[in-house]
Amino acid sequence: MTSTISDLNKQLQKLPPKKIAEICVRIAKHKKENKELLDYLLNESDDEDGFREKIKAETEQQFQDMNRSNLYLAKKSLRKILRMINKNCRFSGNKETEAILLIHFCKTLKASDIPYYDSQVLINMYANQQKKIATAISKLHEDLQFDYLKEMEFL
């Protein structure tokens, strides 16, 4: 039976820093996502704005590299981009970052030449992202909510 997070936390509190570092490296070796999370926590969590800009740039690059020859391939590429954004939003755990990255995705999709309005799947994908943005915004401070709701009007 697996221990609870609380139990694991208590056990980690008792360990020396060197042992904790060994455990982190061992966990990072098992899954790529664990390695990416550890990289975020060690290198990027202190500069959330820089992290957001990096993900925005990566999103734009993936939009440029996207195969637009047919709608099926575009859908696959858009899903891949959203998986990358959602994974990085989970790493951050910051609702403002989630709102910013999803707004950026929607704006980039609208600005692209992809006829997303011709596909019900893509219309639903776009609508779901708007719902996720609204949910993320609702959990922010009132002043930030106002700013992001204004930005969302353009979507």
- For the cut 80, the answer to whether the pLDDT of residue 154 exceeds it is no
- For the cut 90, the answer to whether the pLDDT of residue 91 exceeds it is yes
Tell me, what's the pLDDT at 53?
96
Segment 143-150 shows an average pLDDT of: 82
Tell me, what's the pLDDT at 62?
95
SS3 41: helix
Task: Of 23-27, 77-81, 143-147, give the lowest mean pLDDT range.
Answer: 143-147
Alpha helices in the chain (DSSP H): 5-14, 17-30, 32-39, 48-65, 71-92, 95-111, 120-138, 142-152
Tell me, what's the pLDDT at 146?
83
- For the cut 80, the answer to whether the pLDDT of residue 122 exceeds it is yes
Residue 122: partners with Cβ closer than 8 Å, 6 or more residues away:
71, 74, 75, 78, 114, 116
pLDDT band, residue 124 (cuts 50/70/90): very high
Buried b (16+ CB within 10 A) or exposed e, 110-142: eebebebeebeebeebbeebeebbeebbeebee
Q: What is the pTM of this model?
A: 0.87
Tell me, what's the pLDDT at 69?
81
Please indicate whether residue 71 or residue 18 has the higher confidence score (pLDDT): 18
Tell me, what's the pLDDT at 83?
96
Spacing of C-alpha 65 from chain mean position: 19
pLDDT band, residue 155 (cuts 50/70/90): confident
